[in-house]
């Protein structure tokens, strides 16, 4: 074919200059001897002229030999009427080079060709045409003629462009939206994937259309995703799934994919819209939190105490295994039956009132009570609880522990009995010369020391020896020995009218020390003690041991008054104030009160069946020896208040004193 048609002939098709020998027969002329149809094909010729398309015919060399009326109508002229007619004059400049190359290739290797390009109409506008050119061969496979059909597809191209515009808008929108998004066909084929997702996966849209997403999913999760997506395609339901996916920049990462169907008015699925969220950091944080919670739970379960938590209103929501094993109750059981019935009957009402009050005011607390276990025996527990608050100070949770102190309480009871005997001996010692004689004897090893010694021996002989408890007993022996000796020394000094060893004294701190020393007695008697101490309280000049004895005696009187048939909550209020150059300490209770306030401070006057009438007399002697005064007031309808005052220490004088 190349031998019969040179490059100049191919250029002639587009109106390019041709060689002289090729110009002998111009392309615009129709050869009168060239027959497109047989001579008897008049009807068929009419059909060709009126087909809804432009028909052209070329000879084997590529010369234009025939055009139908559609061509003449489109160009507004007959090619045979104008010299130099060429297709290249009418082809859009942007399509000219491509059309010429296609013709060159088609003429070189004859075959059917399908071309698309724009042709200028008679009014100067361009329209898109789809041209199909078919060669006609003879028996020797040589080209006899070329026949072409040009179909106007401009309207279709415009429609396709209009259809593409929304798609392009969606693509631009998805690329602009933060995040990773995609659109799939009703059959589940990828149609649009925004750039963020393509960048994250490290693939192209063409690859996903060709290979799908399977290779982008971790092998362990491929079947999970396939089953879920197949189910959604079958049922039309949304898909929401977490799985491991490939990450272009590193190892597998957790992602969450959510796909929703978009339906037409008739309910048919038009598209599937999906979004992908990288949740790898969240998943790893959750895993770290689970591990942390596991370690924390292990620690809580290993603590040698009963651990619990409750809501701000006091509802239990967590118990460790030790607490469940001891009580035989779960959280659900506590919600159903409560916890008060597990307490010793003598401790229930007081404990309930205390806990209710602490929950109301939101203050940390430490209380002691007896609680029944699954063996139906009661043991003493020290209960400590602290509130957890948010940034605005609101309580979010209460955390508490029950520490078994039953063994310690038994030892303390033995010690308390010894201390009671010591206190009784101290009261007897207040009686003139007999007090000096008893004071001499009380310096000997006391029953309290013996009790601690016995206790320490038991701890030492236990298997294995409890050295920690033994150390506590030895410390108590040392403390009680020093305290007993100091008390005896001061009592002897008191009755010898010796001068007290005065030093600057913070009465608030002294009150707290007394409350700490008497904490077990207060808990045992189920009394709620409230402190109202002036934080700006000045100091006084006093003998610490003697003033401590005054506060202890007054507090002991209140505890004994509350033991005499008081109904309801038992309360003691300790208040400190500065007034008129004095420090005023007031101890109030809602106990049984008293009748004759004039004789309360007389020696040997008592309102108690077993009282000696010495305690308040000693308190009065001590206070007055410090330049203060003491008095009692009856509170209506029930209760009593004991008040004493001491002079405020002058600042100039205080700076010159040395504490002994």
Instruction: Please give, one letter per residue, the 3-state secondary structure of 310-328.
Output: ECCCCCEEEECHHHHHHHC
pLDDT category of residue 27 using cuts at 50, 70 and 90:
very low
Q: Can you give the pLDDT at residue 480?
A: 67
Residue that wins the pLDDT comparison between 467 and 496: 467
Residue 50 has pLDDT above 80, yes or no: no
Q: Can you give the pLDDT at residue 4?
A: 37
Question: Count of domains in the chain?
Answer: 5
**Could you tell me if 376 and 396 lie in one domain?**
yes
pLDDT per residue as tens digits for the range 297-356 = 777 777 888 898 999 988 888 888 888 889 988 888 888 888 888 999 999 998 989 888
Q: Can you give the pLDDT at residue 628?
A: 92
**Could you tell me if 509 and 647 lie in one domain?**
yes
Residue where the block lists tokens 């039309």 = 236
Cα–Cα dist 26/6, whole Å: 15
Q: Can you give the pLDDT at residue 636?
A: 79
- Percent pLDDT > 90 in the chain is 15
pLDDT category of residue 107 using cuts at 50, 70 and 90:
confident
Kindly state whether residue 429 falls inside one of the protein's structural domains: yes
Residue 389 has pLDDT above 60, yes or no: yes
**Could you tell me if 110 and 230 lie in one domain?**
no
Span 454-478, average pLDDT = 80
Q: If you average pLDDT over every residue of the chain, what do you get?
A: 78
For the record, the structure tokens of 92 come out as 């859009």
Under DSSP, is residue 120 helix (H, G, I), strand (E, B) or coil? strand
Last residue within a domain, chosen from 128, 152, 176: 152
- The residue segments making up the domain with residue 637 are 503-654
Residue 577 has pLDDT above 70, yes or no: yes
Residue that wins the pLDDT comparison between 113 and 479: 113
Residue that wins the pLDDT comparison between 8 and 518: 518
Q: Can you give the pLDDT at residue 434?
A: 45
**Could you tell me if 615 and 518 lie in one domain?**
yes
pLDDT category of residue 259 using cuts at 50, 70 and 90:
very high
pLDDT per residue as tens digits for the range 429-440 = 444 444 544 444
pLDDT category of residue 476 using cuts at 50, 70 and 90:
confident
Kindly state whether residue 516 falls inside one of the protein's structural domains: yes
Cα–Cα dist 148/250, whole Å: 57
Report residue 207 CA to chain centroid gap: 40
Kindly state whether residue 580 falls inside one of the protein's structural domains: yes
pLDDT category of residue 84 using cuts at 50, 70 and 90:
low
pLDDT category of residue 379 using cuts at 50, 70 and 90:
very high
Residue that wins the pLDDT comparison between 381 and 469: 381
Under DSSP, is residue 142 helix (H, G, I), strand (E, B) or coil? coil
Kindly state whether residue 297 falls inside one of the protein's structural domains: no
**Could you tell me if 21 and 142 lie in one domain?**
yes
Residue 651 has pLDDT above 80, yes or no: no
* DSSP secondary structure string for all residues of 529-580: EEEEE-TTPPPEEE-HHHHHHHHHHHHHHHHHHHTTT--S--EEEEEEEEET
Residue that wins the pLDDT comparison between 648 and 175: 648
Q: Can you give the pLDDT at residue 652?
A: 43
Span 41-55, average pLDDT = 72
Last residue within a domain, chosen from 449, 464, 495: 495
**Could you tell me if 171 and 259 lie in one domain?**
yes
pLDDT per residue as tens digits for the range 162-208 = 655 556 666 666 676 677 888 888 888 887 888 878 877 777 777 77
pLDDT per residue as tens digits for the range 519-542 = 877 887 888 999 999 989 999 999
pLDDT category of residue 500 using cuts at 50, 70 and 90:
low
* Best mean pLDDT range from 74-88, 368-382, 513-527: 368-382
Kindly state whether residue 208 falls inside one of the protein's structural domains: yes
Span 76-105, average pLDDT = 77
DSSP at 351: H
Percentages (nearest 5) of helix, strand, coil residues in the chain:
45, 25, 30
Residue 95 has pLDDT above 50, yes or no: yes
Kindly state whether residue 37 falls inside one of the protein's structural domains: yes
pLDDT category of residue 495 using cuts at 50, 70 and 90:
low
Span 271-283, average pLDDT = 87
CATH of residue 83: 3.30.450.20
Span 568-591, average pLDDT = 90
CATH of residue 640: 3.30.565.10
Nearest to residue 467, comparing CAs of 456, 475, 479? Answer: 456
Q: Which of 106-115, 396-405, 433-442, 460-469 is predicted least confidently?
A: 433-442
**Could you tell me if 23 and 142 lie in one domain?**
yes
**Could you tell me if 482 and 463 lie in one domain?**
yes
Q: Can you give the pLDDT at residue 422?
A: 63
Q: Can you give the pLDDT at residue 182?
A: 84
Q: Can you give the pLDDT at residue 237?
A: 92
Work out the angle at residue 542's Cα, subtended by the Cα atoms of residues 541 and 548, and round it to the nearest 5 degrees: 140
**Could you tell me if 28 and 105 lie in one domain?**
yes
**Could you tell me if 424 and 525 lie in one domain?**
no
Q: Can you give the pLDDT at residue 42?
A: 62
Cα–Cα dist 102/638, whole Å: 118
Residue 213 has pLDDT above 70, yes or no: yes
**Could you tell me if 567 and 461 lie in one domain?**
no
Q: Can you give the pLDDT at residue 224?
A: 92
Collect contacts of 109-112 with beta carbons under 8 A, ≥24 apart.
Answer: 109/1, 110/1, 110/135, 110/137, 110/143, 111/135
Q: Can you give the pLDDT at residue 502?
A: 82
Residue 371 has pLDDT above 90, yes or no: yes
Cα–Cα dist 601/621, whole Å: 9
Q: Can you give the pLDDT at residue 399?
A: 92
Last residue within a domain, chosen from 383, 404, 425: 404
Span 245-254, average pLDDT = 77
Kindly state whether residue 2 falls inside one of the protein's structural domains: no
Residue 569 has pLDDT above 90, yes or no: no
Span 141-147, average pLDDT = 85
**Could you tell me if 228 and 371 lie in one domain?**
no
Q: Can you give the pLDDT at residue 17?
A: 35
Kindly state whether residue 295 falls inside one of the protein's structural domains: no
Span 469-477, average pLDDT = 80
Work out the angle at residue 67's Cα, subtended by the Cα atoms of residues 63 and 72, and round it to the nearest 5 degrees: 125
Task: Tell whether omega for the bond before 464 is within 30 degrees of 0, i.e. cis.
Answer: yes
């Amino acid at each position: 074919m190349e031998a019969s048609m040179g490059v100049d002939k191919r250029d002639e098709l587009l109106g390019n200059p041709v060689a002289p020998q090729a110009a002998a027969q111009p392309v615009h002329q129709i050869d009168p001897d060239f027959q497109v149809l047989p001579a008897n094909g008049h009807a068929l010729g009419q059909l060709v002229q009126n087909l809804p398309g432009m028909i052209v015919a070329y000879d084997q060399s590529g010369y234009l030999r025939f055009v139908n009326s559609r061509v003449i109508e489109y160009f507004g002229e007959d090619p045979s009427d104008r010299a130099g007619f060429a297709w290249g004059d009418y082809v859009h400049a942007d399509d000219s080079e491509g059309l010429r190359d296609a013709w060159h290739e088609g003429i070189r290797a004859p075959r059917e060709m399908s071309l698309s390009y724009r042709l200028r109409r008679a009014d100067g506008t361009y329209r898109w045409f789809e041209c199909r050119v078919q060669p006609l061969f003879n028996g020797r496979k040589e080209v006899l003629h070329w026949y072409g059909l040009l179909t106007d597809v401009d309207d279709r191209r415009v429609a396709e462009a209009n259809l593409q515009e929304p798609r392009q808008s969606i693509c631009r929108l998805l690329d602009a939206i933060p995040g990773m998004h995609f659109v799939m066909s009703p059959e589940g084929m990828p149609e649009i994937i925004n750039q963020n997702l393509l960048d994250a996966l490290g693939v192209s849209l063409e690859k996903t259309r060709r290979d799908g997403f399977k290779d982008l999913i971790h092998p362990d999760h491929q079947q999970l995703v396939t089953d879920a997506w197949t189910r959604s395609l079958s049922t039309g339901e949304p898909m929401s799934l977490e799985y491991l996916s490939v990450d272009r920049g590193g190892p597998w990462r957790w992602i969450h994919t959510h796909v929703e169907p978009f339906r037409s008015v008739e309910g048919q699925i038009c598209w599937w819209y999906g979004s992908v969220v990288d949740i790898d950091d969240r998943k790893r944080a959750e895993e770290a939190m689970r591990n942390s919670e596991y370690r924390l739970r292990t620690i809580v379960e290993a603590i040698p105490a009963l651990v619990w938590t409750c809501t701000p209103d006091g509802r239990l929501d967590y118990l460790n295994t030790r607490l469940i094993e001891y009580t035989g109750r779960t959280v659900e059981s506590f919600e159903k039956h409560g916890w008060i019935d597990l307490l010793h009957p003598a401790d229930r009402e007081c404990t309930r009132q205390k806990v209710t009050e602490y929950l109301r005011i939101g203050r940390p607390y430490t209380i002691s009570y007896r609680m029944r276990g699954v063996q139906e025996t009661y043991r003493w527990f020290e209960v400590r609880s602290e509130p957890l608050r948010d940034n605005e100070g609101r309580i979010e949770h209460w955390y508490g522990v029950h520490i078994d102190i039953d063994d310690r309480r038994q030892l303390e009871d033995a010690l308390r009995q010894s201390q009671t005997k010591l206190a009784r001996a101290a009261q007897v010692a207040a009686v003139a010369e007999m007090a000096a004689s008893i004071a001499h004897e009380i310096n000997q090893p006391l029953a309290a020391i013996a009790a601690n010694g016995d206790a320490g021996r038991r701890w030492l002989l236990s298997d294995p020896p409890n050295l920690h408890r033994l150390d506590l007993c030895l410390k108590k022996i040392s403390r009680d020995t020093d305290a007993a000796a100091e008390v005896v020394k001061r009592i002897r000094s008191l009755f010898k009218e010796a001068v007290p060893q005065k030093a600057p004294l913070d009465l608030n701190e002294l009150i707290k020390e007394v409350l700490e020393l008497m904490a077990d007695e207060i808990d045992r008697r189920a009394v709620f003690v409230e402190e109202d101490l002036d934080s700006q309280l000045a100091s006084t000049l006093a003998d610490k041991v003697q003033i401590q004895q005054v506060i202890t005696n007054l507090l002991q009187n209140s505890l004994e008054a509350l033991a005499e048939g008081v109904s309801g909550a038992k309360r003691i209020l300790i208040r400190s104030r500065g007034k008129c150059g004095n420090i005023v300490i007031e101890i109030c209770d809602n106990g049984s009160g008293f009748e004759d306030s004039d004789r309360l401070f007389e020696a040997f006057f008592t309102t108690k069946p077993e009282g000696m009438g010495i305690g308040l007399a000693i308190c009065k002697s001590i206070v007055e020896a410090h330049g203060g005064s003491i008095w009692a007031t009856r509170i209506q309808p029930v209760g009593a208040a004991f008040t004493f005052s001491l002079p405020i220490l002058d600042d100039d004088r205080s700076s010159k004193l040395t504490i002994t």
